């Protein structure tokens, strides 16, 4: 397995037991720092036998921080006047256990027979100490560092016995439901294999990799390919559900970020940044989007069909017009795309730098 980055790593623990990891150089918390405390609440999961899927119940999240003014941002460095989630006056990148998680081991339970105890973990990945910007505005070396942090979080959470799938993702923009503007993403350590990942791993026929098969199809067609990099191919899939949806796939069959070299992780992350920058140029406004990484499950099984890739779902279908998940998508599970993948690919290619 390729070596991990030499990025400096500092482990801290908040008074309520939540872990904080600072990556890169940092300055200690200011005098008088008071860590925010996690709130008690009911955390459990309930099985939906009709859809055969888990529903997470996190009843304490209703009180989570909602669009605070910049001076009260919980993801900025701490000051003498404001203690944030980050116990440092300055930092490069930070990861902490979410104070308002969707999954939490040891939370309260409702006592209902339909419910089982919550396990797993939810982390927040703070991309930078700067309050403004996002993945698209990070310097190349910071994007490379972020890729190393993602790989390290996969390694750390994969070692936990209660985590069977490490899900790295980013929600950007109020239209997606983001409640904090500071550049950040998240990592969920699920105690089960989530439905979309399970469907991908079971797709196709035989023992071949379905992602490899789709990548080969897209490269033969060529018309929807946006660009090729040393460790990534970006394309609009023929079956795109979202207007301007993009998949970024490693050209080699590699199951997770840990299977890439440092230079390959950098190339993969920079490919994601190129897509995000194209999104922002598309309608001359910061594009609200969801970005998700699919990797090998961490349940101890081999999963030879697992293939690292990212999927990006932008929410704007046109200037000032959102793509909504309405009755067909939400009630029937059938997406309706108002665009042609070939046309959106052609448009995005003109914006790729």
Question: Which residues form the catalytic set?
Answer: 184
Could you tell me which of 132, 72, 126 has the C-alpha nearest to residue 94?
126
Could you tell me which of 121, 72, 70 has the C-alpha nearest to residue 95?
121
Specify the long-range contacts of residues 9-16, CB closer than 8 Å, at least 24 apart. 9/152, 12/87, 14/87, 14/96
Sheet holding 246-249, edge to edge: 9-13, 19-23, 93-97, 121-126, 184-190, 165-172, 289-294, 309-314, 246-249, 232-235, 225-229
What beta strand segments (E) does 17-150 contain? 19-23, 27-28, 43-48, 53-58, 88-90, 93-97, 115-117, 121-126
Could you tell me which of 170, 117, 118 has the C-alpha nearest to residue 143?
170
Q: Length of the chain, please?
A: 353
């Amino acid at each position: 397995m390729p070596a991990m980055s030499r990025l400096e790593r500092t482990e801290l623990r908040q008074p309520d037991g939540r872990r904080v990891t600072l990556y890169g150089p940092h300055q200690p918390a200011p005098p008088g720092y008071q860590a925010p405390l996690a709130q008690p609440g009911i955390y459990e999961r309930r099985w939906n036998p009709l859809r055969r899927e888990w529903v997470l119940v996190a009843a304490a999240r209703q009180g989570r921080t909602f669009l605070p003014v910049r001076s009260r941002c919980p993801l900025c460095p701490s000051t003498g006047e404001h203690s944030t989630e980050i116990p440092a006056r300055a930092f490069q990148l930070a990861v902490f256990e979410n104070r308002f998680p969707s999954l939490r081991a040891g939370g309260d339970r409702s006592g209902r027979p339909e419910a089982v105890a919550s396990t797993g973990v939810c982390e927040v990945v703070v991309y930078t100490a700067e309050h403004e910007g996002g993945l698209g505005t990070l310097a190349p070396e910071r994007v490379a560092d972020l890729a190393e942090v993602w790989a390290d979080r996969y390694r750390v959470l994969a070692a936990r016995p209660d985590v069977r799938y490490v899900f790295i993702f980013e929600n950007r923009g109020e239209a997606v439901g983001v409640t904090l503007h500071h550049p950040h993403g998240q990592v969920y350590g699920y105690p089960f294999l989530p439905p979309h990942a399970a469907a991908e791993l079971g797709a196709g026929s035989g023992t071949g990799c379905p992602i490899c098969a789709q990548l080969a199809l897209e490269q033969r067609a060529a018309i929807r390919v946006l660009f090729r990099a040393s460790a990534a191919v970006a394309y609009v899939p023929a079956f795109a559900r979202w207007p301007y949806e993009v998949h970024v796939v490693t050209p080699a069959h590699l199951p997770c970020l840990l299977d890439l070299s440092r230079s390959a992780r950098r190339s993969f992350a920079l490919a994601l940044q190129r897509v995000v920058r194209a999104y922002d140029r598309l309608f001359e406004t910061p594009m609200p989007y969801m970005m998700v990484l699919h990797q090998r499950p961490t349940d101890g099984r081999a999963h030879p069909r697992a293939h690292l890739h990212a999927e990006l779902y932008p929410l704007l279908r046109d200037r000032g017009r959102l793509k909504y998940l309405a009755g067909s998508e939400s009630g029937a599970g059938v997406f309706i795309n108002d665009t042609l993948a070939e046309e959106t690919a052609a448009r995005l290619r003109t914006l790729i730098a």
